[in-house]
Amino acid sequence: MKYLSEYRDPELAQRYLREIEKTVTRPWTIMEVCGGQTHSLVKNGILNLLPPEVNMVHGPGCPVCVTPLNLIDKAVYLAEEKDVILCSYGDMLRVPGSEKSLLEAKANGADIRILYSPLEAVKIAQENPDREVVFFAVGFETTAPANALSVVHAQRLGLDNYAILASHVLVPPAIEALLSDEECLVEGFLAAGHVCTIMGLEEYFPLVDRFGVPIVVTGFEPVDILQGILMVVQQLERGEAKLENQYARMVREGGNPKARETIYEVFDITDRMWRGMDVIPQSGYGVCQAYQKFDAQRKFSVDIPEAPENASCIAGDIMKGLKKPFHCPNFGTHCKPENPLGAPMVSSEGACAAYYHFSDRIHQIEKQSA
């Protein structure tokens, strides 16, 4: 076993597809929460293969897409005005801010570095004692332990030239906000497997009970996603609403307690603005009081007003599952990956970019939306 290629087996995928076809008797709208799942669904052509009754809509689980414009502006400000070494995950660089992206700031000479891991940023701080280093700590629950760990490492090393610009978001409050919206069409969810690796299942039981929707914690490979869809469809057809775990090879019921301990060591739960959606109460992490000297916003007294979003971008409606990228008048015209108007066109996990890159693989959706 390699725990990877086996879950890409085309023959097994076909068998799951046939089972979904056999099971489904009427239309259902199912949301995959995580952008990684959106990418996998589109890239592997699964949207084309699903029976027309299964309408997949694409949720807000792409950190690049939901990080507010204001945070991008703050990152640009730190890099340009405060002369810090601004370290970031690569996906964030092309996200448009109100004036410019980090990539444009970098082209103008700001010291912006793309890293794979926040732990590398701590090393950079260690090696450059005369410079300030800021890591742009975005992400969902999956990424929070690593980002928090970088702060713990910096503390252990006694570094005072390291800080993070935190923009952390949480999945369950977002699902709750979506389901509380009267317009919501979503009847079942594939929950994000990697998020639950950390958090476990506990937070999802109340959502299943309160809203009566099936939620299946699901992995990312084609066979995982098809099994997840089958499990949701089976529940919907039977009129059930349960929490199930398709991804048990990675997700324990109790999640990863050590990782949560590290998160709560460094972060507090706070209200958080979601790009394209609005402020969702108690939906993010901020650096807690005890670690405030590692909080870049406090350290550099960054105070930049909120800028308005591009009004013609319908990213919010897409992430709520109300619309598809093809419904946006800018899609592929004014808005392309090289020149994105909104964040979902930037990251390959954003629904717009996924549809754009793999448009040859989504004929069915094109027909549906025509």
Residues of this chain, 201-220, that bind ligand SF4 according to CB under 6 A: none
Q: Tell me how far apart the alpha carbons of residues 29 and 179 are, in angstroms, rounded to a whole number.
A: 13
Q: Which stretch binds ligand SF4 (CB under 6 A): 154-162, 279-287, 288-296, 342-350?
A: 342-350
Distances 246 to 34, 51, 118, 145 between C-alpha atoms, Å:
15, 21, 30, 23
Amino acid identity for residue 24 in this structure: V
Nearer to other proteins, 133 or 138 (CB): 138
Nearer to ligand SF4, 117 or 310 (CB): 310
CB of 91 closer than 8 Å to CB of 62: no
Q: E strand or H helix at 250, and its extent?
A: none
User: What does the per-residue mask of binding to other proteins show for 220-259, with x meaning CB under 8 A?
Assistant: x--xx--x------------------x-xxxxx---x-xx
Strand locations in 116-173, DSSP E? 133-139, 162-169
Tokens 């970019």, located at residue = 353
Nearest in space to 54 (alpha carbons), one of 80, 22, 6, 90: 22
Amino acid identity for residue 8 in this structure: R
Residue 328 binds which one of ligand SF4, other proteins, none, with CB within 5 to 8 A depending on kind?
ligand SF4
User: What does the per-residue mask of binding to other proteins show for 89-118, with x meaning CB under 8 A?
Assistant: x-x------------------------xxx
- In whole angstroms, how close is the CB of 211 to other proteins at the nearest point? 24
- In whole angstroms, how close is the CB of 56 to other proteins at the nearest point? 18
Residue 318 binds which one of other proteins, ligand SF4, none, with CB within 5 to 8 A depending on kind?
ligand SF4
Q: Please name the residues in contact with 207: beta carbons below 8 A apart, sequence gap of 6 or more.
A: 172, 175, 176, 179, 213, 215
- Provide the token pair at 203: 């937070």
Phi, psi dihedral angles at 267 (to 5 degrees): -115, 150
- Of 86, 112, 151, 313, which one interacts with ligand SF4 (CB under 6 A)? 313
Residues that bind other proteins (CB under 8 A): 1-7, 9, 11-12, 15-16, 19, 34-36, 61-64, 89, 91, 116-120, 138-140, 142-143, 145-146, 149, 153, 156, 192, 194-195, 197-198, 220, 223-224, 227, 246, 248-252, 256, 258-259, 262, 347, 349
